[in-house]
Structure 1
Amino acid sequence: MSNPTSKHTPQPVSSRTTYALAGVALVVVVAIVGALYLWNRGASTSDTVRNDGYGSAHDPAVTVALDSDGAIVLGKPNVAKTVEIFEDPLCPACGHLEKIYGQEIAQQVDLGKIEVRYRLVNFLDRSSKSKDYSTRAVAANECVAQAGDGPVYAKFHTLLFTTQQPSEGGPDHDNKELADIAKQAGAGDDVAKCITSGERADSARAHAEAAAKGLESTPSVLVDGKKIDHTNPNWVLDAAK
């Protein structure tokens, strides 16, 4: 049996419809290309190291002190602007912040434009292989800070958050290795002993837990007590005005 012949005759798509579809496709392609361009431009901007080559704060007039609340205060005397930075020593985003903006921060500290209050927390202890790396790293920071040498502390802090920062879940530094990093930054034997003995472990844990109260995430940056957007590429220079 033969199939019945259809009476429907396909009609060609009009040129007007073809142009409309082509126009829609072009708009979609342009939108995608534009979005990729903006995303790539934003990514490259956020990954550009600010003031590359300056290094950590190195003016001998820069001092460091361990405040009663556990804040580590780096700067020159009588500075008008205070930048407060909340960080976890194992936090990758904190490491990124230091890699991108650390040298720019250092120059403004050397110029006496800002002082920095580092508030170190231990959110990521459980994410470290030793299960207590963040706390021990906070203790090591306190050992270096209480010696009072600003440039030494600045270099130690830079090393710990950049080239010497462990990965979450991977091997981390034991106390001897933390002491070796401190000595690489210029710290003396008394500081190294403070770190290897773990003498500041309890105070560091208490300070870290106090700093973490009400804190939503790390890194967080406050300028004169007000939280700012640290993804703004000019935030350091704005803070120093």
Structure 2
Amino acid sequence: MSQSSSKHTPQPVSSKTTYALGALALVVVAAIVFAVYQWNRGSDSPRNDGYGAVRDAAVSVALDSDGAIVLGKPGVAKTVEIFEDPLCPACGHLEKIFGQEIAQQIDEGKFAVRYRLVNFLDSASRSKDYSTRAIAANECVAQAGDGPLYSRFHEALFTTRQPEERGADHDNQTLATIAKDAGASDEVVRCISTGQRVDTARNHAEAALKALEAELGGKAATPSVFLDDKKVDWQNDDWVVNAAG
């Protein structure tokens, strides 16, 4: 192999220069890490943090014949449809990040929410029927017709009180206690603790799952959000604002 005829001999880089380049590299890396951290932190930060659940007493909740739970003010023009499984971690993430923003839009009458609860994660719960029983509890609370009460219960069940997959889950008595802490009446508490709606909830969950599969071409994934029969990208930070616009 031919060699260069140049007689230039590279001089060794001084230790001072080496340290300077190393420090610069560390600064660049630190800046990148910080930027990534800030981006992730922003995307994982609850929107409208501090607002909480629905507040307006004019917001009602109704249990449809197909098991859908509709939360909103009467006569609202838009309805956002949300499919969730009570044990689904991604559903918990959606509620933690966007739940308070959704609650405010409901209070302001921008849209109603139609919750379709499915139970395909029953087998991932220790009791093997947690999702179904949690859906039954949602139906017991929804039957009372109190929108803010249902919102508080739903929020707790999908955020601070959501069990982990394949971990310990809530028995009916615990579900009833969560409802009572949200302000549920003794009648609602009794409905949950006795499992009064479990069989009905199972049928409703199966109907919701079929509806979800039909929307997604035979596949089922939660959470799934729809507006005007169009799938919404719920991982877009502005999806709630866009739906309300």
Q: TM-score, normalised by structure 1?
A: 0.85
Q: Secondary structure at the residue paired with 1:86?
A: strand
Matches within 5 A, 1:157-176: 157-176=154-173
| 1:236 aligned residue | 240
2:136 aligned to 136, 139, 144, which one? Answer: 139
Evaluate the alpha carbon distance shift between residue 10 and residue 116 of structure 1 in structure 2; reply closer, same or farther with a 3 A threshold. same
| 1:3 aligned residue | none
Distance in 2 separating the partners of 1:98 and 1:222: 15
| 2:19 aligned residue | none
Evaluate the alpha carbon distance shift between residue 33 and residue 203 of structure 1 in structure 2; reply closer, same or farther with a 3 A threshold. same
Distance in 2 separating the partners of 1:38 and 1:220: 30
Distance in 1 separating the partners of 2:64 and 2:9: 78
1:10 CA drift (Å): 11
1:39 CA drift (Å): 4.6
Distance in 1 separating the partners of 2:135 and 2:55: 22
Instruction: Name segments (4+ residues, structure 1) moved above 4 Å.
Output: 8-15, 31-39
| 1:225 aligned residue | 229
Evaluate the alpha carbon distance shift between residue 161 and residue 9 of structure 1 in structure 2; reply closer, same or farther with a 3 A threshold. same
Distance in 1 separating the partners of 2:157 and 2:244: 24
| 2:52 aligned residue | 55
Paired letter, 2:232? I
Matches within 5 A, 1:116-131: 116-131=113-128
Of structures 1 and 2, the larger Rg is shown by 1
Q: Secondary structure at the residue paired with 1:68?
A: coil
Paired letter, 2:244? A
| RMSD, matched Cα | 2.6
Q: Percent identity?
A: 64
1:188 CA drift (Å): 0.3
Answering whether residue 50 of structure 2 is matched by residue 86 of structure 1, we say no
Paired letter, 2:162? Q
Distance in 2 separating the partners of 1:53 and 1:35: 30
1:44 CA drift (Å): 2.0
Evaluate the alpha carbon distance shift between residue 13 and residue 105 of structure 1 in structure 2; reply closer, same or farther with a 3 A threshold. farther
Distance in 2 separating the partners of 1:44 and 1:228: 22
Distance in 2 separating the partners of 1:223 and 1:37: 36
Q: Secondary structure at the residue paired with 1:49?
A: coil
Distance in 2 separating the partners of 1:240 and 1:41: 27
Distance in 1 separating the partners of 2:40 and 2:204: 35
> How big is each residue's C-alpha offset from its partner over 1:19-53, in whole Å with a ceiling of 9 and x where there is no partner?
xxxxxxxxxx9x98897666544422220110000
1:154 aligned to 151, 156, 181, which one? Answer: 151
Distance in 2 separating the partners of 1:132 and 1:143: 17
Paired letter, 2:192? I
- Which structure 1 segments of 5+ residues have no match? 1-7, 16-28
Evaluate the alpha carbon distance shift between residue 112 and residue 129 of structure 1 in structure 2; reply closer, same or farther with a 3 A threshold. same
Matches within 5 A, 1:1-241: 39-213=36-210, 214=213, 215-241=219-245
Evaluate the alpha carbon distance shift between residue 195 and residue 227 of structure 1 in structure 2; reply closer, same or farther with a 3 A threshold. same
1:216 CA drift (Å): 2.3
Paired letter, 1:122? N
Aligned residues: 222
| 2:20 aligned residue | none
Distance in 2 separating the partners of 1:13 and 1:200: 87
1:201 CA drift (Å): 0.6
Paired letter, 1:239? A
Q: Secondary structure at the residue paired with 1:136?
A: helix
Distance in 2 separating the partners of 1:223 and 1:14: 70
Distance in 2 separating the partners of 1:52 and 1:238: 18
Evaluate the alpha carbon distance shift between residue 123 and residue 113 of structure 1 in structure 2; reply closer, same or farther with a 3 A threshold. same
